[in-house]
Amino acid sequence: MAASSEAGGNTAVPRPEQLELSDDAAYLHYTANETIGGLAFDYTPRAVRPDGSEVPLVCDMSSSILAGPLDVSQFGIIYAGAQKNIGPAGLVVVIVREDLLDRARPDMPSLFGYKALAEAGSMVNTPATYSWYLAGLVFEWLEGGCRWTLGHGGDQRPQGRQAL
């Protein structure tokens, strides 16, 4: 565990200087906006081991995706249940950095691997079509006001929508 606020009753987000990854950390996972306790990170953590090597940053953005501009280049994996900001339950949005697509455990069925899903355009099996349809309506509605930075600056909405 890189940090904990348990000693203080889980009433605050750990500050950047409190995050300490272990020497063998494979990734850093955090929840950007934890709605039960009302806690939200006001910064994007750096996923760096003590030796200075970076590891993938993995984030649950179920409560914050589409809430504002997002530089996805800072993350290895972003995932979000659609039921909070995108559409009805039954849909999960996952954005995976390309170099992580083929890093599944060898014993994982290929159906659950990100590489197979990416190669099939997320259509390995029948998707939740109604959820996709409603999410599409939300994306169309947001298109004029949602800025997708993707680490390149400027308005990059077409690529952002394509990534989703």
Instruction: Single out the residue of 67, 21, 68 nearest to residue 46, CA to CA.
Output: 21
- pLDDT confidence bin for 146, thresholds 50/70/90: low
In terms of Cβ atoms closer than 10 Å to its own Cβ (0-12, 13-18, 19+), residue 99 is exposed
H-helix segments, 16-78:
none
What pLDDT is recorded for position 158?
44
For the chain, state the CA radius of gyration.
17
Domains of the chain plus CATH, in order, are 6-163 (3.40.640.10)
Model confidence over 34-84: pLDDT tens digits?
888 889 999 999 999 999 999 999 999 999 998 888 899 999 999 999 888
Model confidence over 95-129: pLDDT tens digits?
999 999 988 888 988 888 899 889 988 888 888 88
Cα gap 38→59, rounded to integer Å:
17
